[in-house]
């Protein structure tokens, strides 16, 4: 049993921070979480929140974005491939591409374009709107602008105009019929296209998106269709327009072996085309570079069993090995990493506004009344008789008594007071049994869920559907950590619930190095603000969030760390106002106000409102239309 005082090291281990943070976050000596975007630089998250709330009067929740972390991830990826290329003597190059579908936020796209300029790191667009956004970015002349996804004439035409602007735009053929569209628009504009073709590998990824690859993948051509593209371009004397072979086996690939198998197959296809006279320049291995959300370094669906450097090295080695065997030139390797670049830079900060849970303390049990029902007396005796030898028997007896209690209540034989006392006794029994389990090597099956049953519900001011849609929709797990008090041992076990009117708005699964935990260790509220940080939030969550209950996009602050533990809030963007969310559903602000004014005037004439109250009602209504969609408190 641990006898030394609880330390920040214990807290870091408890919440897995060194395992999942990649060095971008830490627990400082005061028990607070720091962002550490570069050597010698750190910013304490609680300090940033205190400035926003206490000094600036802003409301939470808020997303903190760290552009330095984003730029750091771009450098890490490119340097990983640069190191592998140098180590193996690879004669080709590497060019990364960021698929902006992962996060189209302006700060994200512009930071990646700027940080990747010297590496010729490019962008990928999967729609006309995304392409319009990408064309406006300041990119290295050699940086790729890959146009993926299904396309119409307008999409293709805009991509071809991009080449006249000096952009290295490559149009990826996703289905054979797109080739005719590309050739038609290229002739009409007099622009020579750069064409890529997506090939369906029989290899598949691993993890949650395994089904997105393989023979039944949504995008891509089979071997016969690929050869038809080659022959058609040869007939049109445009074979030199085919510059890229593109493959993709899924997102968040957990197992590096799947990557190597897929890359080997892709390189075999590349080598075969080159041997047939196709002047390919780029081999695009697609996305899939994963993020270790739980820090376990395994093939679990929210983890990866490899590092970024291992990913780069294995790809470079596999491509080189296959090209040497086939005696063809080594291509420029392209990867479309999005999740791995963006996940770490964003942290969602939410305040805990209240805690609910079962009545756990014996002192909270209502006193016995005269004529108390025997089943309640039996439960009282169980509570007093629990020991290390009989806790399992006592637990099973209590479960039976509780069921009897409810059955008797339904039949009218137990009154409401006895029911309340019986339920409080049952909760106290559970708490006492749970204490008996401490240190036990074996936990009986019926008691495995006891911790979850006893868990407090920490009510947090956010919407799961808006801010963590992947958690609700596909069970994705994100690291969650208190921002402060990490020099204190947490004494409670909790689950999290949001403020939506939806029973699905809760989190009851949490990361763990060995398993998925049913509860999160948390501190008892002491009257001071208690903030939780949801980490690795930068990929997909910004763009997938829904408007459930009309909770809108949360506010965000862009934070730059400076020497000496200082920081600067470069930009604060307030979250969506209520009227904007309402208008997005087809309502007009003026119509709403007019309706309330008519109703208040009618109420004043009917005598239920006096003129002063009417004025106050209209003021409050206008204020809420212009207010944040989340709960607002004077002191968060």
323 is catalytic: no
Alpha helices in 448-552 (DSSP H): 450-454, 464-467, 469-474, 541-544
Helix (H) or strand (E) holding 44: strand 41-44
3-class SS at 328?
A: coil
Which of 134, 146, 147, 501 is labelled catalytic?
501
| 268 vs 349: CA distance, rounded Å | 47
Among candidate residues 98, 76, 70, 145, the one with its CA nearest the CA of residue 335: 98
Residues 284, 332: contact at Cβ < 8 Å?
Answer: no
| 295 vs 291: CA distance, rounded Å | 9
Distance of CA 550 to the CA centre of its chain: 20
Asked if omega into 61 is within 30° of 0 (cis), the reply is: yes
Sequence ranges of the binding site: 283-293
| 99 vs 5: CA distance, rounded Å | 47
Cα dist from 444 to 68, 389, 402, 433, 437, whole Å = 49, 13, 20, 12, 10
Contacts of 129 (CB under 8 A, 6+ apart): none
The tally of CA atoms less than 13 A away on the side-chain side of residue 467 is 36
Among candidate residues 59, 68, 111, 101, the one with its CA nearest the CA of residue 542: 101
Cα dist from 154 to 131, 150, 244, 549, whole Å = 11, 12, 22, 36
- Tokens representing 58? 């802003």
Sequence ranges of the binding site for substrate: 283-293
Backbone angles phi, psi at 540, to 5 degrees: 75, -35
- Is 106 buried (19+), middle (13-18) or exposed (0-12) by CB count in 10 A? exposed
Other C-beta atoms lying within 10 Å of the C-beta of residue 560: 16
Q: Are strands 555-562 and 566-573 parallel, antiparallel or unpaired?
A: antiparallel
Beta strand ranges found along 402-545 (DSSP E): 456-460, 480-482, 492-497, 506-507, 520-522, 531-534
Would you name the residues annotated as active-site residues? 501
């Amino acid at each position: 049993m641990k006898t030394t005082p609880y330390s920040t090291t214990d807290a870091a281990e408890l919440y897995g921070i060194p395992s999942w943070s990649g060095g971008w976050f830490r627990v400082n000596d005061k028990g607070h979480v720091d962002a550490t975007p570069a050597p010698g630089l750190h910013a304490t998250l609680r300090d940033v929140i205190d400035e926003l709330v206490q000094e600036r009067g802003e409301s939470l929740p808020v997303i903190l974005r760290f552009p330095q972390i984003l730029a750091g991830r771009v450098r890490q990826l490119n340097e990983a491939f640069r190191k592998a290329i140098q180590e193996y003597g690879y004669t080709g190059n590497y060019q990364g591409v960021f698929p902006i579908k992962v996060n189209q936020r302006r700060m994200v796209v512009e930071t990646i374009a700027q940080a990747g300029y010297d590496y010729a790191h490019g962008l990928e667009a999967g729609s006309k709107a995304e392409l319009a956004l990408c064309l406006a970015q300041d990119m290295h002349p050699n940086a790729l602008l890959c146009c993926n996804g299904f396309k119409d004439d307008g999409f293709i035409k805009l991509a071809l105009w991009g080449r006249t602007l000096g952009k290295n735009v490559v149009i990826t053929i996703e289905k054979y019929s797109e080739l005719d569209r590309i050739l038609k628009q290229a002739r009409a504009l007099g622009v020579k296209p750069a064409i890529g073709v997506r090939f369906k590998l029989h290899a598949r990824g691993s993890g949650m998106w395994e089904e997105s690859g393989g023979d039944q993948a949504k995008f891509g051509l089979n071997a016969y269709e690929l050869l038809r593209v080659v022959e058609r371009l040869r007939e049109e004397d445009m074979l030199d327009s085919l510059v890229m072979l593109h493959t993709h086996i899924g997102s968040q690939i957990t197992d590096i072996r799947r990557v190597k198998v897929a890359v080997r197959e892709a390189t075999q296809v590349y080598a075969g085309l080159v041997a047939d006279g196709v002047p390919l320049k780029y081999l695009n291995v697609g996305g899939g570079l994963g993020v270790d959300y739980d820090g376990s370094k395994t093939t679990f669906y929210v983890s990866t069993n490899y590092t970024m450097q291992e990913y780069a090295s294995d790809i470079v080695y596999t491509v080189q090995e296959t090209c040497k065997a086939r005696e063809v030139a080594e291509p420029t390797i392209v990867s479309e990493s999005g999740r791995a670049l963006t996940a770490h830079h964003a942290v969602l900060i939410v305040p805990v506004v209240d805690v609910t849970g079962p009545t756990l303390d014996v002192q909270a049990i209502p006193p016995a009344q005269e004529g108390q029902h025997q089943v309640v007396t039996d439960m009282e005796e169980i509570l007093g008789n629990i020991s290390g030898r009989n806790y399992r028997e006592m637990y099973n007896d209590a479960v039976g008594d509780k069921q009897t209690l409810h059955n008797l209540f339904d039949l009218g034989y137990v009154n409401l007071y006895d029911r309340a006392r019986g339920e409080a006794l049952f909760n106290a029994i559970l708490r006492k049994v749970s204490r008996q389990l401490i240190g036990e090597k074996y936990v009986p099956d019926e008691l495995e869920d006891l911790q979850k049953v006893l868990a407090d519900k920490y009510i947090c001011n956010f919407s799961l559907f808006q801010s963590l849609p992947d958690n609700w929709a596909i069970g994705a797990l994100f690291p969650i950590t208190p921002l402060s008090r990490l020099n204190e041992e947490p004494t409670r076990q909790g689950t999290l619930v949001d403020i939506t009117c939806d029973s699905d708005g809760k989190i009851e699964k949490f990361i763990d190095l060995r398993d998925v935990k049913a509860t999160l260790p948390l501190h008892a509220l002491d009257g001071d603000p208690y903030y939780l940080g949801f980490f690795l939030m930068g990929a997909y969550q910004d763009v997938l969030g829904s408007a459930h209950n009309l909770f809108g996009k949360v506010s965000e602050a862009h934070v730059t760390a400076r020497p000496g533990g200082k920081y600067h809030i470069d930009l604060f963007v307030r979250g969506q106002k209520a009227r904007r969310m309402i208008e997005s559903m087809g309502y007009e602000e003026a119509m709403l106000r007019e309706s309330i004014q008519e109703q208040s005037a009618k109420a004043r004439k009917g005598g239920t409102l006096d003129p002063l109250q009417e004025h106050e009602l209209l003021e409050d209504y206008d204020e809420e239309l212009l207010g944040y969609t989340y709960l607002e408190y004077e002191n968060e």
